[in-house]
């Protein structure tokens, strides 16, 4: 546990120092993957509203293939559970207890694909998050969701400490491609 705390501090500081803006080209490999996985089928995509020097996945909405889909953002509740709710680009957002922007709670929906915020990742596609376990608990409940961790390549760690609660992601997207 102590090792994860130290790694969180390290990668939060590193991301803060090395953060740079991305353009929509960053998402080309992901767009190609989505087109292969879902072809013409309808799908719902779970994003997150970036904070704390996280990659701005909202730039992914510049693609018409994506902006016309059901866009969902996570909302946490008082029981520390997370669900996803519909959000449109100009809808109001509300600040939660962690200082993160969330959409209004309507009817919860389950995304077909989720872009997962990532502090660090390893070659086995495990991720280090902020330590609250929201994504891991959610993904254990819905294990048929395509998961894509989103990070900069400098956030790669050789081998993250993991436990039975940690979920392996399907893919990791960085500026160097999708793995």
Neighbours of 21 (CB within 10 A): 8
In the numeric block, the tokens 């990659």 are attached to: 55
Distances (CA, A) of 15 to 109, 155, 166: 31, 7, 22
**pLDDT higher than 90, residue 15:** yes
Q: How many CA atoms lie within 13 A of 135 on its CB side?
A: 26
pTM of the model: 0.94
pLDDT in tens, 51-103: 989 999 999 999 888 888 999 999 998 888 999 999 998 899 999 988 899 99
Note the pLDDT of residue 113: 97
Closest CA to 142 of 105, 118, 109: 109
Note the pLDDT of residue 79: 85
Closest CA to 24 of 69, 3, 55: 55
CB 79 within 8 A of CB 44: no
Cα–Cα dist 46/73, whole Å: 6
Burial class from Cβ neighbours inside 10 Å (0-12, 13-18, 19+) for residue 18 reads: exposed
**pLDDT higher than 70, residue 125:** yes
Note the pLDDT of residue 49: 95
**Domains by residue range for the chain, with CATH:** 2-178 (3.40.50.10420)
User: How many residues are given for the chain?
Assistant: 179
């Amino acid at each position: 546990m102590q090792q994860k705390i130290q790694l969180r501090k390290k990668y939060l500081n590193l991301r803060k120092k090395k953060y740079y803006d991305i353009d929509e080209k960053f998402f080309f490999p992901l767009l190609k993957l989505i087109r292969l996985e879902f072809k013409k089928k309808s799908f719902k995509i779970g994003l997150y509203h970036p904070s704390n020097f996280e990659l701005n996945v909202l730039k992914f909405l510049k693609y018409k293939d994506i902006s016309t889909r059901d866009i969902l953002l996570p909302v946490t509740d008082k029981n520390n559970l997370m669900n996803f709710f519909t959000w449109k680009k100009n809808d109001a957002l509300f600040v939660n207890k962690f200082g993160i922007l969330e959409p209004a709670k309507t009817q919860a929906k389950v995304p077909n694909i989720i872009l997962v915020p990532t502090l660090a990742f390893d070659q086995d596609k495990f991720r280090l998050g902020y330590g609250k376990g929201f994504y891991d608990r959610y993904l254990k409940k819905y294990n048929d969701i395509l998961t894509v961790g989103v990070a900069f390549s400098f956030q790669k760690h050789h081998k993250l400490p993991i436990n039975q609660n940690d979920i392996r992601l399907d893919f990791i997207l960085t500026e160097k491609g999708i793995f």
